[in-house]
Amino acid sequence: MKKILFLSIIFISTTVFAQKVDYKALDKYISQTQKDWNIPGLSVGIVKDGKIVFEKGYGQMDVNENRKPDEHTIYAIASNTKAFTAAIMAQLVEEGKVNWKDRVQDHLPYFEVYDPAISRMVTVEDLLSHNVGLGTFSGDGIWYKSELSTEEVVKRIRFVPQAYDFRAGYGYSNLMFITAGALIEKVTGKSFKDNVTERILKPLEMDDTVVSVKDFGNNKNVATPHAMDENNKNYTIPWVGWDNVQSTGGIISSVHDMSKWMILNMIHGVTKKNDTLFSVQNRNNMWNLHNSFGVNQVNRNSTGSQYAGYGLGWFLGDYQGNFRVRHGGGYDGMISTVQMLPDENLGVVVLTNGVKAPTNAIAYYVFDRFLNRDKKDWSKEMLDGYDKWKAGDTRIADRKAKQVKGTQPTLQKEAIIGTYHADIYGNFEVKEMNGELKLLWEHTPLLNSTLSHFNYDAYEIHWDEPQAWFSFGTVKFESDAYGKVIGITFDVPNDDFFFYEMNAKKIE
């Protein structure tokens, strides 16, 4: 009897506490955070105990227009798509069309990685857990803004260098999730877009959500992506289609719809209409560690993390001792996060339309309010950390400072004009157009550039289109011992796309 009374008191106190969250104060904090971080706009959704308890937009949908986002404004969720891909794969497992331990080559014979023997061993689970042996973001230059088909992207994976032993490390790989999408399309005979729409979006009534920029239609409630210049000023950039890589990052959604997605996940695949989208067994498989990585057990970080790793389509770990399931997403000019504390039936989604985004700061502050923790100013701490990191990133400044002005190229213009080839990418063409040197990308016209002399035989790259993740860069023309041009090497300092992987040889 005492035990029952004790449990009742706990339940009542928890319920009362949940009702005491000061949503007005929370709203004020988020609003100030948006301003402090100088991000154009963002929307936040919070779910608790199976219900949406908070959803609101802040700032502007476009810095050039006075339109405020709301809970139905759609943003690119980018890599938060990966959890949808894993869920679809779970459904196919339950339908007997795929097994988690299936070898990928049994479904996609053209799939290869850096080693033929390893290629034959890679399984479906390996694709979804970042343990194949590729480095984080390695090979992303193959698909980024590319006009290649999904199959053509996958066929180039064999040229991506090995970073660590198979199943012996962690390297976040978009390419493996692109492969998973190709596998889904192969075994179902339907596009990834049709699969995610029919299997998840429609059952959850995620009516705001689309899977392509081509599907905006007459919807005007669409946030505009923004980049940030050297003076911390936001400027708009165009939406870019990711139709050939939808399974790694193609979904575009609202916090209202993503809140429905979080609720589904925290009740382990059962919809409000009692339809089971995936089983508890497969829920466990997706939320169990398949790839763990180190945590500092001596000096805890500020989230109190004791373990961390990756499941299938989800990052797993803990927040202040509470089991946490999360993922982030980065699209050109948009950053997002989805974070859940399943044991608390609590989830937060933050979608933004800028590159300097307080996604984690907002999520942690929300968690603290519901966990009755001290009111730590996560926004200030993380903004200070971001600004310090940014100020310490002198890669571009250092390169510009080393420029030797007044030099002349040793190679004649006629010698560097021609076609260059990189197996991982394809062809680049250097040609003269209207008196200017142009660098043309075979599969990625949105990366076409104008070249101006930098120093010696290096030329500065001036992108014809605005870029979100990189700005300054150079290409150097290499010659042999006899002065013959033999190739080009890229130097574009950034954290997301490794242009040096596309260094090319002159073929004509």
**For residues 147 and 363, what is the distance between their CA atoms, to the nearest angstrom?**
36
Residues 6+ apart with CB under 8 A from 79: 174, 248, 249, 327, 328, 329, 330
| Separation of CA 368 from chain center | 25
Q: What does the pLDDT look like over 447-462, one tens digit per residue?
A: 999 999 999 999 999 9
Closest C-alpha among 321, 319, 310 to residue 340:
319
Q: For residue 194, what are the β-bridge partners? A: none
Structure tokens at 180: 């998973």
For the chain, count helices (H), then strands (E).
17, 20
Residue 220 pLDDT > 60: yes
Band (pLDDT 50/70/90 cuts) for residue 11 is very low
Beta partners for residue 252, in sequence order: 76, 210
The one-letter amino acid at 357: A
Residue 103: CB atoms within 10 Å = 16
Q: What is the pLDDT of residues 74-132, one digit of tens each?
A: 999 999 999 999 999 999 999 999 999 999 999 999 999 999 999 999 999 999 999 99
14 or 197, which is more confident:
197
* DSSP assignment string, 372-429: T-----HHHHHHHHHHHHHHH--HHHHHHHT--TT---SS-HHHH-EEEEETTTEEEE
Whether the pLDDT of residue 401 is over 60: the answer is: yes
Helix (H, G, I), strand (E, B) or coil at 507: coil
Residue 270: both structure tokens together? 């059962």
Q: What would you measure as the largest C-alpha separation in the chain, in angstroms?
A: 93
User: How far is it, in rounded angstroms, from Cα 459 to Cα 413?
Assistant: 12
Please check whether residue 124 is in contact with residue 98, taking contact to mean a CB–CB distance below 8 angstroms: yes
pTM listed for this prediction: 0.94
What is the C-alpha radius of gyration for the chain, rounded to an integer number of angstroms?
Answer: 24
Is residue 336 pLDDT above 50, yes or no? Answer: yes
Q: How far from chain centre, in Å, is Cα 146? A: 16
Tokens for 112?
């290869």
Dihedral pair phi/psi, residue 87, rounded to 5°: -65, -40
196 vs 300, residue with greater confidence: 196
With tokens 């890589």, the residue in question is 245
pLDDT band (50, 70, 90) for residue 14: very low
Q: Residue 294 pLDDT more than 90?
A: no
- Is pLDDT at 297 greater than 90 in this prediction? no
Per-residue burial over 314-333, b if 16 or more Cβ lie within 10 Å, else e, is bbbbbbbebebbbbbbbbbb
Identity of the residue numbered 372 = N
| Three-state SS sequence of 466-494 | CCCCCCCCEEEEEECCCCCEEEEEEECCC
Closest Cα to residue 179, out of 155, 213, 144? Answer: 155
Give percent above pLDDT 90 in the chain.
91
Query: What does the alpha-carbon distance between residue 40 and residue 28 come to, in Å, rounded to a whole number?
Result: 17
Please check whether residue 42 is in contact with residue 73, taking contact to mean a CB–CB distance below 8 angstroms.
no
Q: What phi, psi does 320 have (nearest 5°)? A: 50, 45
Does residue 232 register a pLDDT over 80? yes
On the question of pLDDT at 26 being above 90, the answer is yes
Nearest-angstrom CA–CA distance, 439 and 504: 12
> Alpha-carbon distance 103 to 125, whole Å?
9
Note the Cα 149 to chain centre separation in Å. 20
Q: What is the pLDDT of residues 310-328, one digit of tens each?
A: 999 999 999 999 999 999 9
Alpha-carbon distance 316 to 310, whole Å?
6
Q: Looking at residues 379-407, what average pLDDT do you find?
A: 95
Identify the pLDDT of residue 480.
95
Q: What are phi and psi of 252, to 5 degrees?
A: -125, 120
- Spatial contact of 343 and 215, defined as CB atoms under 8 Å apart: no
Asked whether the beta carbons of 256 and 72 are under 8 A apart, the reply is: yes
